[in-house]
Structure 1
Amino acid sequence: MMAPSKSLQPVLQKKVDELFLHWLSEPGTQRLLQACLQRLLDQTGGPGGDAPAPQPPWGPPQSGQPRGAARLQPCQPSPQPPLSPLQPPRLPQAPQASGSPRWLRPSKSLQPPKSLLQPPRSPQSLLPSTSLQPERSPQAPKRSLRASYPDCQRTIPRPRSGPAAATVQLESSTRRGVPQSRGVQRRREEPPPAAAAATSQDIPAFYFPRGRPQDTVNTDAVIARVERTFAEFPQERATMDDMGRVAKACGCPLYWKGPLFYGAGGDRTGSVSVHKFIAMWRKVLRSCHDDAAKFVHLLMNPGCDYLVPEDFVPFLQDVVNSHPGLSFLKEASEFHSRYITTVIQRIFYTVNRSWSGRITCAELRRSSFLQNVALLEQESDINQLTDFFSYEHFYVIYCKFWELDTDHDLFIDAQDLARHNDHAISTRMIERIFSGAVTRGKKVQKEGKISYADFVWFLISEEDKKTPTSIEYWFRCMDLDGDGVLSMFELEHFYEEQCRRLDSMAIEALPFEDCLCQMLDLVKPQAEGKITLRDLKRCKLAGLFFDTFFNIEKYLDHEQKEQASLLRDSDSDGPELSDWEKYAAEEYDILVAEEAATDPWDDGYDAELTPVDQKLSPLRPALAQRPFFESPCPLSDVDLYQYNSEEEDEDEDEEDEDDEDLPPS
């Protein structure tokens, strides 16, 4: 018994569709399909028509054939009734004494004579006979009708009465293994109908995995500019510092200099020769026709057509070393890798929509990553690029992780993660996060720990539940059986813990039935009793749905707000800050203020450390009203002549060591 067929995973289905589109766009495949279509049209007699009835070998000649090609049509003896045109003539034979006539007896050999297998030498051989019987010598052996007409099968009913009872009914059938005569099977080729001619046109290519070719690109002019640029360098060799001018000569943004340098093999020798670079760039221009394909080709490993996280490290290391907004980070080289890890995870969080861990040209083309790379040249303040490269966002994420990672081994377990935001997330959801539903790597399954890279995905998804990736993140966690549907059992599984936590806080919780009615009215699923990922993405209040089932703090915040105000906030147009940008800006100001308050020599003014982002200016009044902003103690209360004891000195040394482990703000 065969196993039931399983539907392909989304990633495999995408690959199958991509292969089919590539196969269908090949010219050889198109010609094959056209030939099959023409063969079907010939068999059916054109679109919407029936196949023409086969002409018998003894019928009249078809129109358009020469007169000499007419088929044999013997006549019947006068005593017998005339046969229909579809019946062959009976050979006149004398009835035998024993039983049935001889011409009705089966023949010993079903093979036709050689004369029927060979084409006629002249048209006169196909002319009809002038006598009533076929001419043959008296000494020639008599041939049966089955041997003469191998394509005919006889059905002879028993004679009843009357002359019509002797009529022989014949059926035309095709016998396998019996060679056919060319004269019998000859058929006039009909011209193709108009519809078939229209479908026989060449289908233009419509699938371009490496970009649509452009006729406006002058490769020779680009190569000439590159040669002139290399001529200005010593020995026509370019180092990493010179690659900015080479990138401009190639027509690329400035910060493509790192991928161009490493793509030409500069990491092995420290410099790139003009001949090697031109050979590499000519190959790129010949095979890649847009920026996404070129960027992937420069960074990918040989034999691959996608990018993995490790492929972005050389590119981002060059950004850290050369961007003016990150010049202060040069002195803290130990934080280079952590900043690069944060940016890489944010890139995959936004660009890699298939959750495969591999960024393809199509995904990169649909994202805004390359536009942000081009803005690196124009924007000197790295914090303005909030989508991927903001250092303030990295500072917030890393400080939050550092607070949870008590042993500072860059891994946290379930107990550490449960302390996030004062135990706001339920225990059952923490267990689902560590179950491997949204994390990669074997360390989660073996040791029950997640890395800093996994924490980046968790924090962004927790603070902004409106993005497609965050909705997919929490949907995967709530889908216990992995069937792609949130059932009522799964919703009740998470809501039970929420009710217990509300009861411990002396807050009356809604019964599950009432809460379920509210959530179904909120989401409006297409299928009754089932909530799919499509339903949640279509709903504008997916964050309220998720917080109701596993985040107690945000659930209470939503209860204090009216649903109309939530909808008004979600429908607002214009370049408004996302929930993640609001959270990062607020937390960064808090961290900077706490650092300023702990510094005894700080005068309370941190204008240089405060971000000057114009988009964050509306948040300043709200942050100034927070109660935890405490002004530092006045200098009059400080006794400058009081010395600390040895124990206090040791405590201060330990605090200084802890502060050195944090990145510069």
Structure 2
Amino acid sequence: MSPGKVLQPVLKMKVDELFLCWLSQPATQLTLKDCLRRIKNEEKTDVGNGDSGNGKNERLANPNSSSRQCVLGDARLPLMSFSPPQLSTTLPLATPASPRNVSNVRATRRSSGTRVVQTKKEETLPPSLSQNIPTFYFPRGCPKEKVNIDAVIAKIERTFSEFPNERATLEDMGKVAKACECPLYWKGPLFYCAGGERTGYVSVHKFVAMWRKILQTCYDDAAKFVHLLMNPGCNYLVQEDFIPFLQDVVNSHPGLSFLKEASEFHSRYITTVIQRIFYTVNRSWSGKITCNELRKSNFLQNVALLEEEADINQLTEYFSYEHFYVIYCKFWELDTDHDLYIDRKDLARHNDHAISTRMIERIFSGAVTRGRKAQKDGKISYADFVWFLISEEDKKTPTSIEYWFRCMDLDGDGALSMYELEYFYEEQCQKLDNMAIEPLPFEDCLCQMLDLVKPQCEGNEILYHL
């Protein structure tokens, strides 16, 4: 410190230190809590005790006794009954003639008498938020208020009473499905979920127990259908879960009666339908259909139409046999060895070599396929070809757009950069040059694309924009 400079204490730091010391005392905290309680109860709170100045000095001289009285018994004791430890109880009082004494007297007079703080009357608090916000998440469907489960069970029992020994076979399950107020072609899932596959029949007791549990836990058709088809312990459907259901459709639908004698095509047709189901319903690309995905799709409506429509070719979204025939014939032409797998050279012959080599490489890279064994061998299966062909024929559906987006997203960052677009455009330019056609410069093509898409992030196109 330079000579002659006067040392000045920082009073604010000392005041803050004393305040924190006072506030950290257990007696102070209990006193504050007690005062807060009385304020909430709309009681009067004594902030100071003005009986005499001596009483105040006595409390300063003996803080322990006054603090204990405040905590243990007297709810009206002053709020600030604690004296900082820096104050000594042996300090002499100032003489009456001193100016300091005069100021103390004036302060004592101003503080004499009990000051009463009238708390503001609190308004009635609204109920908690949890009481105002109704339940909005129903993973198994929104519960219906008026569902007489006993009446439904009684109707099912009457239906079973018509069968020998109250046992229903798969052929009888159509009546049971109607008694359950379900579409006709739920009969297969109902039969297998009740254990009919093991014994060849379903007893009334097993079925009632199974259906009662479903009614008590599943509140819409999507949740019920998933529960009927799923494996125990799961809450989703995989591709194998649809096989028994679709096999029953093949065996019993009048529009597929000609397939009964051609059993070798059963598995091909079922595979095609399953891939079309997952292509449309499983928007998460997880290979697992959840209740929510099934609820958002129109698949269950198409299942209900199976009962009404005798011509299955009219159900073009999933079950059309004509669509299956076209898909399978195109695959058969490419699969020269007929092992139900095709390689890069086979796929290159599709549609007169319309697919570029770089795009074929991306398809076989696993960006849009799931079969690890097929990828390892450098081939794709018939199931993967179904996805490819649907995406090739109709490029306007959400899944088709995402299919080609995944193929072009080389680095998997969820955005198409200008470099990735140019990478695939180069090969198309080479094809045009080979046909003596002048290609459009990439810069001009890029400007046209950006004008159409108008991406929010300059220089990148994300799936949302498409």
Match of 2:364 among 416, 426, 434: 434
Instruction: Say if 1:324 and 1:275 are closer, same or farther in 2 by CA, change over 3 A.
Output: same
2:250 counterpart residue number: 320
1:150-299, aligned counterparts within 5 Å?
A: 150=82, 152=84, 163=100, 193-197=123-127, 199=129, 201-299=131-229
Instruction: Say if 1:220 and 1:150 are closer, same or farther in 2 by CA, change over 3 A.
Output: same
Distance 1:379 1:349 in 2: 23
Distance 1:218 1:526 in 2: 53
Q: Using the TM superposition, name which of 518-527 and 364-373 deviates more.
A: 518-527
Q: SS of 2:177's equivalent?
A: helix
2:52 counterpart residue number: 75
2:341 counterpart residue number: 411
Distance 1:166 1:271 in 2: 103
Q: SS of 1:196's equivalent?
A: coil
> Which amino acid is the alignment partner of residue 52 of structure 2?
C
CA deviation vs aligned residue, 1:342-378 (integer Å, no higher than 9, x gap): 0000000001111111111111111110111011011
Is 1:119 the counterpart of 2:49 in the alignment?
no
1:567 counterpart residue number: none
CA deviation vs aligned residue, 1:69-118 (integer Å, no higher than 9, x gap): 897445226xxxxxxxxxx933499xxxxxxxxx6xxx9xx977894486
1:89 counterpart residue number: 56
Match of 1:505 among 432, 435, 439: 435
Distance 1:151 1:235 in 2: 92
Instruction: Say if 1:200 and 1:463 are closer, same or farther in 2 by CA, change over 3 A.
Output: closer
Distance 1:315 1:62 in 2: 65
1:229-628, aligned counterparts within 5 Å?
A: 229-536=159-466
Deviation at 1:530, TM superposition (A): 1.5
> Which amino acid is the alignment partner of residue 361 of structure 2?
E
Q: Using the TM superposition, name which of 411-420 and 315-324 deviates more.
A: 411-420
User: Is the CA contact 1:503–1:509 (under 8 Å) kept in the aligned structure 2?
Assistant: yes
Distance 1:55 1:155 in 2: 26
> Which amino acid is the alignment partner of residue 465 of structure 2?
D
Deviation at 1:200, TM superposition (A): 7.0
Distance 2:216 2:255 in 1: 36
Distance 2:171 2:195 in 1: 15
User: Is the CA contact 2:371–2:381 (under 8 Å) kept in the aligned structure 1?
Assistant: no
1:124-139, aligned counterparts within 5 Å?
A: none
User: Is the CA contact 2:272–2:324 (under 8 Å) kept in the aligned structure 1?
Assistant: yes
Distance 2:102 2:423 in 1: 84
Deviation at 1:525, TM superposition (A): 1.9
> Which amino acid is the alignment partner of residue 484 of structure 1?
G
> Which amino acid is the alignment partner of residue 220 of structure 1?
D
Deviation at 1:208, TM superposition (A): 1.1
Q: Using the TM superposition, name which of 380-389 and 210-219 deviates more.
A: 210-219
Distance 2:409 2:297 in 1: 28
Distance 2:278 2:59 in 1: 90
Q: SS of 2:278's equivalent?
A: helix
Distance 2:64 2:431 in 1: 92
Distance 1:336 1:435 in 2: 30
> Which amino acid is the alignment partner of residue 348 of structure 2?
A
Deviation at 1:533, TM superposition (A): 1.0
CA deviation vs aligned residue, 1:584-605 (integer Å, no higher than 9, x gap): xxxxxxxxxxxxxxxxxxxxxx
Instruction: Say if 1:388 and 1:501 are closer, same or farther in 2 by CA, change over 3 A.
Output: same
User: Is the CA contact 2:283–2:293 (under 8 Å) kept in the aligned structure 1?
Assistant: yes
> Which amino acid is the alignment partner of residue 200 of structure 2?
G
> Which amino acid is the alignment partner of residue 56 of structure 2?
P
Instruction: Say if 1:55 and 1:465 are closer, same or farther in 2 by CA, change over 3 A.
Output: closer
User: Is the CA contact 1:112–1:150 (under 8 Å) kept in the aligned structure 2?
Assistant: no
Instruction: Say if 1:150 and 1:212 are closer, same or farther in 2 by CA, change over 3 A.
Output: same
Instruction: Say if 1:356 and 1:193 are closer, same or farther in 2 by CA, change over 3 A.
Output: farther
Instruction: Say if 1:516 and 1:75 are closer, same or farther in 2 by CA, change over 3 A.
Output: same
Distance 1:333 1:493 in 2: 46
Distance 2:436 2:306 in 1: 52
User: Is the CA contact 2:42–2:119 (under 8 Å) kept in the aligned structure 1?
Assistant: no
Q: SS of 2:126's equivalent?
A: helix
- Provide the identity percentage: 70
Instruction: Say if 1:511 and 1:302 are closer, same or farther in 2 by CA, change over 3 A.
Output: same
Deviation at 1:441, TM superposition (A): 2.3
Q: By percentage of residues, which structure has more helix?
A: 2
Distance 2:378 2:456 in 1: 37
User: Is the CA contact 1:486–1:531 (under 8 Å) kept in the aligned structure 2?
Assistant: yes
User: Is the CA contact 2:70–2:77 (under 8 Å) kept in the aligned structure 1?
Assistant: no
Deviation at 1:242, TM superposition (A): 0.4
Distance 2:275 2:222 in 1: 19
Q: SS of 2:285's equivalent?
A: coil
Distance 1:191 1:62 in 2: 9
Q: SS of 2:380's equivalent?
A: strand
1:15 counterpart residue number: none
Q: SS of 2:412's equivalent?
A: coil
Distance 2:232 2:34 in 1: 65
Instruction: Say if 1:192 and 1:348 are closer, same or farther in 2 by CA, change over 3 A.
Output: farther
User: Is the CA contact 1:436–1:444 (under 8 Å) kept in the aligned structure 2?
Assistant: no
**Structure 1: 5+ residue stretches without partners:** 1-52, 78-87, 94-102, 129-147, 168-186, 537-665
Using the size of structure 2 for normalisation, the TM-score is 0.80
Kindly report the root-mean-square deviation, in angstroms, between the aligned alpha carbons of the 2 structures: 3.4
Distance 1:380 1:459 in 2: 27
Distance 1:316 1:372 in 2: 13
Distance 1:516 1:456 in 2: 31
Number of matched pairs: 412
Distance 1:310 1:327 in 2: 23
User: Is the CA contact 1:435–1:444 (under 8 Å) kept in the aligned structure 2?
Assistant: no
CA deviation vs aligned residue, 1:363-412 (integer Å, no higher than 9, x gap): 11111101110110111111110000000111111111111111111111
Instruction: Say if 1:149 and 1:516 are closer, same or farther in 2 by CA, change over 3 A.
Output: same
User: Is the CA contact 1:525–1:535 (under 8 Å) kept in the aligned structure 2?
Assistant: yes
